[in-house]
Amino acid sequence: MNKGHKGSSRTSKINPLALPKGTEKFCELCGKVARLQCAACQVTFYCDAEHQQADWVGIHKRICQLLVQIRDPGSHVPLSLCGIRTCVCVELIEICRFEAGSKLSQGKHQEALPAAQSGLRCLTDVHGSGSCELVPAYLLLAEANMGLGNISRVKELLSQAEWVVSKSPECTNEIHHRLHRSLGRLHVLTGDLEAALFHFANDIYYAAEAFGLESMVISRGYFLMAGVFVKQGKSPVASSLYSEVVRSWHAHLTELLQSHINSPDFSYDKSQQVEVDEMFRTMLEFKQKESRKDRKQEALLNHCLAMLWLLGGDTQKVSHLTGRGIKARSSFLLIPQLIEKIILLPRL
């Protein structure tokens, strides 16, 4: 038995004599013939130690024992007909969805792949290959591959998602919005900017239907669309869209920060903080490069960054920002007091 890398599960070599005649096991990540198995669950197989470690870091350490319950080689009952196994599979799907989404929000695209793949595999087992339930998993897997530059794989995954949606009238507005957003981002990468605008427009429409006109989800759609107009050299259009994004986020963060100050039980979801921070910085850079400076918009963006960092507990960044002498907006004068109030709040 071999000990894996530090922090990994142990692996053991597969004994071919222990397998039924004519059967082979395949790698969990790449599908090649497996040579190793997880020593803990003994139902997950790998072509080499590198893929075992990648799967362990990505998702396997969270679902190792759950897999034993749904990959019992002695069971010949279809997964979709076995109530207990299906319940376990639903739990596994939710864990995979959360882990993949969390890693993607942190920019860890490689680590997100195993969780996204495991989630898609389990969803297919439960619902079948043509179910609309598979679409969110396709989109997570596409996003991970997009971050790694695997464009051909992204196209394949989104084509599968499009086919499923076209055959499934029960697909929700949220699924349509997410699919169009992914397609828009793909077309930006491939340089088809008109197609990207088409999909981002549909993304915004379906997001409005699903979440309402004031949702921050729509704001992200406006931001992505503005990025396309920047690439097309249509700066005034992009500037107008960015201004709408700033307006929405400034109101949203102001409300969140006030709730944080007023309620010791306030809970802030930090999962999207890296993405939002990057969005603000992109818009600030654009505003600073405009020939006609809009100091009010720059101040609003800096204020948004300050509030975002305050909510994330990074008071040092806020102090540095306010220490640069940004005085275009009077609300910045309140930042030191806000820092003091938040520091004095009980730790959640």
Residue at which a domain ends, from 37, 58, 76:
76
- Within a 10 A sphere around the Cβ of 100, how many other Cβ atoms? 29
| pLDDT at 202 > cutoff 50 | yes
Question: Does residue 192 belong to any structural domain of this protein?
Answer: no
Domain tally for the chain? 2
d(CA 23, CA 176): 41
% of the chain at pLDDT higher than 70:
79
What does the pLDDT average to over 204-225? 94
Answer with the residue of higher pLDDT: 195 or 34. 195
pLDDT category, 214, cuts 50, 70, 90? confident
Amino acid letter for position 29: L
Q: Which residues of 143-153 are buried (b: 16+ CB within 10 A; e: fewer)?
A: bbbbbeebeee
pLDDT category, 2, cuts 50, 70, 90? very low
d(CA 248, CA 235): 20
Question: Does residue 102 belong to any structural domain of this protein?
Answer: no
Q: What's the confidence (pLDDT) of residue 19?
A: 59
Question: Does residue 338 belong to any structural domain of this protein?
Answer: yes
Q: What's the confidence (pLDDT) of residue 105?
A: 85
Q: What's the confidence (pLDDT) of residue 321?
A: 65
pLDDT category, 185, cuts 50, 70, 90? very high
Answer with the residue of higher pLDDT: 237 or 18. 237
Residue at which a domain ends, from 29, 57, 76:
76
Between 157-161, 248-252, 289-293, the lowest mean confidence (pLDDT) is in 289-293
| pLDDT at 139 > cutoff 60 | yes
Answer with the residue of higher pLDDT: 328 or 123. 123
Question: Does residue 153 belong to any structural domain of this protein?
Answer: no
Q: What are the pLDDT digits (tens) for 47-80?
A: 999 999 999 999 999 999 888 888 765 544 454 5
Question: Does residue 334 belong to any structural domain of this protein?
Answer: yes
Are 315 and 343 contacting, i.e. CB atoms less than 8 angstroms apart? yes
What does the pLDDT average to over 182-203? 97
Question: Does residue 226 belong to any structural domain of this protein?
Answer: no
Q: What's the confidence (pLDDT) of residue 267?
A: 61
Q: What does the block give as tokens for 25?
A: 């096991």
What is the residue range of 313's domain?
235-348
Q: What are the pLDDT digits (tens) for 298-341?
A: 888 988 888 888 888 777 777 766 555 444 444 444 454 554 55
Which of 45-54, 105-114, 175-184 shows the highest mean pLDDT? 175-184
What does the pLDDT average to over 204-213? 95
Q: What's the confidence (pLDDT) of residue 144?
A: 96
Q: What does the block give as tokens for 54?
A: 């990648």
* 3-state SS, one letter per residue, for 91-148: HHHHHHHHHHHHHHHCCCHHHHHHHHHHHHHHHHHHHCCCCHHHHHHHHHHHHHHHHC
Q: How many helices (H) and strands (E) does the chain have?
A: 14, 3
Q: What's the confidence (pLDDT) of residue 334?
A: 47
pLDDT category, 265, cuts 50, 70, 90? low
- Max CA-CA distance within the chain? 77
d(CA 33, CA 14): 11
Residue 317 CA to its chain's centroid (Å): 25
Average pLDDT, the chain: 83
Residue at which a domain ends, from 31, 55, 76:
76
* CB neighbour list of residue 235: distance below 8 Å, 6 or more residues apart: 229, 290
Question: Does residue 204 belong to any structural domain of this protein?
Answer: no
| pLDDT at 235 > cutoff 60 | yes
% of the chain at pLDDT higher than 90:
52
Question: Does residue 35 belong to any structural domain of this protein?
Answer: yes
Angle at 296 between CA 293 and CA 273, to 5 degrees: 105
* CB neighbour list of residue 150: distance below 8 Å, 6 or more residues apart: none
